[in-house]
């Protein structure tokens, strides 16, 4: 890997990859990429490449896990061995197990869980290439895949991180800023309901900086939200144009 | 009391559809007099009721629905049927045999075996119990011939069309018998393979383009064209 950069932000306030502090990485979203899944989505956010697949609602196996009053949401966040610089063992690590839980909990409030008792919905998230902020990109993709599967939802969940690189609060941290920055605040958000479903913090921030970071992350979320909606509509818009020629 | 979308516009989950004295219809939910979409779909107004016609959904059983299912398990006292829904349905032997079932004498797998298809009707279903189905009614029972197509269950009404205009048109044009399972499984039985394939094509086209307008006319045109193509081939 390259040498440690001395500064994450230059004198003009430009970051290592040429972004301004409040700028998102370029994002590409696609829906319905896995024909065998009930719903799926693919996201590219900067160098992150993430695939999400949703199956269900379907019968619960093993049966004793079934909940009598609501559906069971299962979530698996997994990093491909080739997704990072140094080969990652394909076995689920402590970090992956924790992220699976955290992602599940951030998606749960958006789904009408009580509609389908005794069933389960499975969400599989595969990180093909990681470059910081994968949990946020994963939530964005997973929520899109859930909507694509036709699961009734209160709102789409969008996630975006903010943090502190050198001494500035910046939006959407990439790998180097994440590792060498001073703090990281991932936020998952439901824009129409104005509700936060995930809020974590890693590192140290003053109260004021924290507030700035959360607000910055929410602004970022809102931008990604409109892309999410476009991606969902794009799947059907293409057919419509062709047919109505 | 504004509504924020025109009929037939695409909405995504969470979109605010209407505010005020409206009734939340299919695939929507209400919160503080605001109505939001809960699925991706097309807006439909019905007086005060706002619906979202979902572009993709799964089948939820309802008593009285006709469905087409596959036998997945033969048990000691009945069959488990996959009805293309989150819940598996149960079929009792007495309904199939049309006489009392004697566990000592009757071998269930000789009546219906794994993989067999049945046209059935849902008798009962609620949140706490899996659906029960029956075949003891005219028109129901084991499927012996024909072809099966699966479509998104929400598109079945589109295949039926206004007062059945779409299916009756396809039936007329292709000479096929078409049974529509409300669970999104369609059975096509025709005199020849070509006829069946024609009907199959039409249904695939409807599924793909269900959210567009002027569909019946386009399907009619397509079927006529394909039919003349087939006849040309025969003449050669």
Q: Is residue A108, in this structure, part of any structural domain at all?
A: yes
Q: Given an 8 Å threshold on Cβ–Cβ distance, is A148 in contact with B40?
A: yes
**DSSP secondary structure of A188-206:** EEETTTTEEEEE--EE---
Asked if the C-beta of A177 comes within 8 angstroms of chain B's C-beta atoms, the answer is no
Q: Is residue A22, in this structure, part of any structural domain at all?
A: no
So what's the pLDDT on residue B183? 95
Question: In chain B, pLDDT over 90 holds for what percent of residues?
Answer: 53
Say yes or no for a CB contact (<8 Å) between A156 and B213.
Answer: no
Q: Cβ of B211 and A193 within 8 Å?
A: no
- 8 Å CB contact between A125 and A141: yes
Task: Evaluate whether B122 touches B133 at the Cβ level (below 8 Å).
Answer: yes
Q: In the predicted model, is pLDDT for residue B1 greater than 90? A: no
The CA distance from B164 to the nearest CA of chain A, in Å, is 22
Q: Which residue of A has its CA nearest to B219?
A: A243
State the nearest Cα–Cα gap between B233 and chain A, in angstroms: 27
For residue B57, the distance in angstroms to the closest alpha carbon of chain A comes to 4
Domain total in chain A: 1
Q: What average pLDDT does the structure give for chain A?
A: 93
Q: What is the mean pLDDT of chain B?
A: 90
Best of A192, A197, A232 to mutate (most B CBs within 10 Å, chain B)? A192
Instruction: Give tens-digit pLDDT for B9-65.
Output: 899 999 999 998 899 999 999 998 899 999 999 898 888 899 998 989 999 999 999
Range of the domain at A209: 27-238
Of the candidates B222, B133, B121, the residue with the CA atom closest to the CA atom of residue B181:
B121
Q: Is B208 in Cβ contact with A239 (below 8 Å)?
A: yes
Which residue in A72, A77, A121 sits closest to A103, CA to CA? A77
Mean pLDDT, to the nearest integer, of B135-139?
A: 90
User: Average pLDDT in the B204-229 region?
Assistant: 85
Cβ(A163)–Cβ(A194) below 8 Å: no
* Secondary structure (DSSP) of chain B: --B-S-TT-EE-TT-EEEESS-EE-TTEEEETTEEEE-SSEEEEEETTEEEEEESS------TT-EEEEEEEEE-SS-EEEE-SSSS-EEE-HHHHHSS---TTT--HHHHS-TT-EEEEEEEEEETTEEEEEE--STT-EE--SSEEEE--GGGHHHHH-GGGHHHHHHHHHH--EEEE-TTSEEEEE-SSHHHHHHHHHHHHHHHHTTTSSSHHHHHHHHHHHHHHHHHHHHH-
Placement of tokens 């094509």 in the chain:
B201
Chain B residue with Cα closest to A229 = B12
**Is B61 domain-assigned?**
no
Q: What is the CATH number of the domain that holds A118?
A: 3.30.230.70
A 108-127: CB under 8 A from B:
110, 112, 116-119
Q: Is residue B3 part of a domain?
A: no
CB neighbours of A29 closer than 8 A, spacing ≥ 6?
A41, A42, A43, A44, A140, A141, A144, A227, A228, A230, A231
CB contact under 8 A, A239 and B128: no
Residue A63 is given by DSSP the state G
End-of-domain residue from the set B89, B114, B142: B142
> Do A150 and B208 count as a contact with CB atoms less than 8 A apart?
no
Q: Within a domain: residue B163?
A: yes
> What ipTM does the predicted assembly reach?
0.89
| Number of C-beta neighbours around residue A46 at 10 A | 20
Residues of B in contact with A191 (CB under 8 A): 14
What are the chain B neighbours of A236 within 8 Å (beta carbons)?
10, 40, 55, 211
What pLDDT was estimated at residue A239? 67
Q: Which of the residue ranges A32-46, A75-89, A170-184, B199-213 would you say has the lowest mean pLDDT?
A: B199-213
Q: Does B188 reside within a domain?
A: yes
Higher pLDDT, residue A151 or B215: A151
Give the lowest-confidence range in A22-31, A225-234, B102-111. B102-111
Residue A6 lies in a domain: no
The percent of residues in chain A predicted with pLDDT above 70, rounded, is 96
- Tell me the CATH number at B108: 2.40.50.140
Report the number of distinct structural domains present in chain B: 3
Contact B86 A119 (CB under 8 A): yes
- Whether B153 and B213 share a structural domain: yes
| Domain final residue, candidates B142, B161, B196 | B142
Residue A244, pLDDT above cutoff 70:
no
Name the pLDDT band for A3 (thresholds 50, 70, 90).
low
Which residues in chain B have their CB less than 8 angstroms from residue A109's CB?
Answer: none
The answer to whether residue A20 is domain-embedded is: no
Chain A nearest-CA residue for B61: A116
CA distance A147 to chain B (A): 7
- Nearest chain A residue to B39 by CA: give it: A152
Q: Indicate whether B92 and B22 sit together in one domain.
A: no
B70 in any annotated domain: yes
The CATH code of the domain that includes B210 is: 3.30.1370.10
Mark which of B142, B168, B184 sits at the end of a domain.
Answer: B142
pLDDT of A240 reads 67
**Residue A56 Cα distances to A150, A190, B62, B106, angstroms:** 10, 22, 19, 36
B129 domain-assigned: yes
Q: Which tens digits make up the pLDDT trace of B61-111?
A: 999 999 999 999 999 889 999 999 999 999 999 888 878 888 888 889 999
Regarding predicted confidence, which is higher, A26 or B164? A26
What's the pTM value of the predicted model, to 2 decimals? 0.91
Q: How far is A20 from chain B (nearest CA, A)?
A: 31
Examine the domain organization and report whether B212 and B175 are in the same domain: yes
Whether B138 and B160 share a structural domain: no
Give chain B positions within 8 Å (CB) of A118.
87
Q: How confident is the model at residue A243 (pLDDT cuts 50, 70, 90)?
A: low
Q: Is B185 part of any domain? A: yes
**A191 close to B (CB below 8 A):** yes
Angle subtended at Cα B36 by Cα B34 and Cα B39, rounded to the nearest 5 degrees = 165
Q: Judge whether A2 lies within some domain.
A: no
B1, part of any domain: no
What is the Cα–Cα distance from B27 to B55, expressed in whole angstroms?
11
Cα A135 from Cα A242, distance rounded (Å): 36
Residue numbers of the domain that contains B33: 10-54
Instruction: Give residue A11's pLDDT.
Output: 87
């Amino acid at each position: 890997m390259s040498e440690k950069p001395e500064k994450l932000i230059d004198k003009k306030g430009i970051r290592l990859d040429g972004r301004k502090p409040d700028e998102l990485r370029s994002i590409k979203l696609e829906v319905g990429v896995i024909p065998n899944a009930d719903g799926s989505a693919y996201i590219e956010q900067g160098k992150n490449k993430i695939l999400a697949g949703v199956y269900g609602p379907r019968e619960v196996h093993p049966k004793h896990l079934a909940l009598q009053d609501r559906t069971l949401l299962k979530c698996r966040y997994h990093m491909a061995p080739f997704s990072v610089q140094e080969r990652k063992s394909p076995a689920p690590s402590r970090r992956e197990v924790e992220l699976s839980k955290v992602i599940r909990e951030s998606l749960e409030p958006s789904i009408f869980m009580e509609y389908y008792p005794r069933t389960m919905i499975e969400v599989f998230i595969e990180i093909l290439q990681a470059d910081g902020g994968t949990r946020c990109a994963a939530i964005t993709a997973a929520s899109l895949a859930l909507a694509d599967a036709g699961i009734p939802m209160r709102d789409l969940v969008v996630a975006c991180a903010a943090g502190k690189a050198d001494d500035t609060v910046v939006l959407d941290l990439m790998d180097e800023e994440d590792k060498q920055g001073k703090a990281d605040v991932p936020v998952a958000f439901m824009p129409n309901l104005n509700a936060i479903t995930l809020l974590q913090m890693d590192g140290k921030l003053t109260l004021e900086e924290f507030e700035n970071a959360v607000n910055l992350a929410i602004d970022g979320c809102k931008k990604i939200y409109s892309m999410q909606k476009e991606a969902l509509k794009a799947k059907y818009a293409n057919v419509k144009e062709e047919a109505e020629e | 009391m504004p509504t924020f979308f025109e009929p037939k516009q695409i909405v995504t989950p969470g979109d605010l559809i209407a505010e005020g004295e409206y009734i939340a219809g299919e695939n929507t939910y209400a919160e503080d007099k605001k109505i939001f979409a809960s699925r991706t779909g097309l807006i439909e107004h019905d007086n005060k009721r706002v619906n979202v016609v979902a572009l993709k959904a799964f089948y939820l059983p309802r008593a009285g629905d006709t469905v087409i299912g596959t036998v997945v398990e033969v048990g000691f006292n009945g069959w488990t049927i996959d009805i293309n829904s989150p819940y598996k349905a149960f079929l009792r032997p007495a309904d199939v045999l049309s006489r009392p079932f004697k566990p000592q004498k009757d071998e269930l797998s000789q009546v219906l075996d794994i993989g067999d298809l049945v046209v059935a009707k849902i008798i009962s279903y609620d949140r706490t119990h899996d659906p029960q189905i029956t075949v003891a009614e005219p028109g129901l029972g084991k499927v012996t011939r024909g072809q099966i197509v699966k479509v998104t269950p929400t598109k079945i009404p589109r295949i039926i069309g206004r007062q059945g205009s779409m299916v009756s048109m396809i039936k007329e044009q292709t000479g096929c018998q078409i049974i529509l399972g409300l669970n999104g499984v369609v059975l096509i039985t025709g005199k020849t393979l070509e006829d069946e394939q024609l009907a199959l094509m039409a249904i695939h086209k409807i599924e793909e383009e269900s959210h567009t307008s002027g569909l019946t006319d386009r399907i009619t045109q397509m079927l006529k064209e394909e039919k003349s193509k087939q006849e040309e081939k025969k003449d050669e």
